[in-house]
Amino acid sequence: MRYIEPHAHMVSRVTDDYVAMVTSGCAAVCEPAFWAGFDRSSVQGFHDYFCQLTEYEPKRAARFGLPHFCWLCLNPKESEDAAFAKDVLAIVPQFLDRPTVLGIGEIGLNKNSRNELKVLEWHVDFAARHDQLILVHTPHLEDKFKGTRLTLDVLRADSRIRPERVIIDHVEEHTVKMVLDAGFWAGMTLYPETKCTPARAVDILDGYGQERLWLNSACDWGVSIPLNVPRTALEMRRRGWSAEAVDRVIYQNPVRFLSQSPRFRVE
Amino acid sequence: MTRQQVLDLYFLDARHKLIEIAAFLDRVDRGSGEADFRLDAFREAMKHLADGEPKRAETILMALSDPTREPIGIAPGKGAIGAWPGRS
């Protein structure tokens, strides 16, 4: 079995996780920029984080033969301070040409505030001006439905945005249809307590087809399971999916989306 | 899958979760002091389990969601709690 982990926060994970992923068939890992669990106190803090994502973490992954790619942005949990967000966005161009950068992400909304929305619009404009792929985080729990609708409003309002170059992540049963109907890709995040379980993710695949959908563990410093993509593959096999159908979802689909960036390559 | 296959694969897991919910509600009842809007939201959402309609997971997620369209003024914090207080 082979798979792509298209969303994992490996800076928060231990080296054993790399070993487990590679020995389970992981062929590449992609790491969006996210919240560290605390607010950075300066733009320099983001500069250092972007260096970690583009320099150190690819080297750490390479020790285990795993290609590591990343996405850059200021995450929505730190976008309430719009002036600070603008300063952070201003340093992103320094990193855009680095060889493992795939696009802008994970941008989006957290509590659906006006400033978050403004910062999301800036990121979308930035991605459009720099012709970048976009990875969107959708809010947690009670805020997800509203935040997904607001996000779609922002993306559809910008005529430069091509839906096939945008993935909207963390969809669940109440948001997946609106994302797919609008022509975007949708990501399902496999968490033990929130977002999707493996069983529910396969239900969604059964209900909405296997086009423009991918699976990710989004493993980070919280309660999460780095091997939840291969565990969901096991769930598919238990339900009688063929090996080819499993491969299409956990390998071919992410490769199809990510290959829109010329920097994404897997053996 | 046939219904028999679904039951073979998932019945014990669903039974386990059902009993966990029952035990949770018993635990809340035994607790002291006032509950908050989360318990009302939970009880309302639970009604959809037994209404016989399809798409129960989607319906329950919606019952726990903020259905409004306007962005809020300022983010009150970073976390989410799992139910929307505006329904109570």
- Give the pLDDT confidence of A47-105 residue by residue, as tens digits: 999 999 999 999 999 999 999 999 999 999 999 999 999 999 999 999 999 999 999 99
pTM above 0.90, yes or no: yes
Bridge partners, residue A186, by sequence: A168, A213
B53 and B14 housed in the same domain? no
- B47 falls within a domain: yes
| Cβ separation B61–A172 shorter than 8 A | yes
B38 and B50 housed in the same domain? yes
B42 and B53 housed in the same domain? yes
User: What interface predicted TM-score (ipTM) does this complex get?
Assistant: 0.96
B45 and B14 housed in the same domain? no
- B19 falls within a domain: yes
User: What is the residue range of B53's domain?
Assistant: 34-67+80-88
Give me the residue from B1, B69, B75 closest to A240, CB to CB. Answer: B1
Task: Quickly count: other Cβ atoms within 10 Å of residue A83's Cβ.
Answer: 7
**Count of CB pairs separated by less than 8 Å, A with B:** 81
Residue length of chain A: 267
Would you list which residues of chain B are within 8 Å, Cβ to Cβ, of chain A?
Answer: 1, 9-10, 13, 55, 57-58, 61-62, 64-69, 71-84
Work out the minimum CA distance from B68 to partner chain A, whole angstroms. Answer: 6
Element holding A103 (H helix, E strand): strand A101-108
B24 and B43 housed in the same domain? no
Question: Rounded to the nearest 10 degrees, what angle do helices A144-157 and B56-63 cross at?
Answer: 90
Domains and CATH numbers, chain A: 3-258 (3.20.20.140)
Cβ-proximal residues to A127 (8 Å cutoff; 6+ apart), any chain: A103, A104, A107, A133, A134, A161
| Cβ separation A174–B69 shorter than 8 A | no
Whether cis (ω within 30° of 0) applies to the bond prior to A173 is no
Residues of B in contact with A112 (CB under 8 A): 66, 71-72
With bands split at pLDDT 50, 70 and 90, how would you rate the model's confidence at A267? confident
Laid out side by side, the sheet with A166-168 consists of A3-5, A26-32, A68-72, A101-108, A133-137, A166-168, A185-189, A213-216
| B8 token code pair | 């073979």
- B75 falls within a domain: no
Please say whether the dihedral angle defined by the alpha carbons of residues A40, A128, A83 and A118, taken in this order, is positive or negative.
Answer: negative
- B74 falls within a domain: no
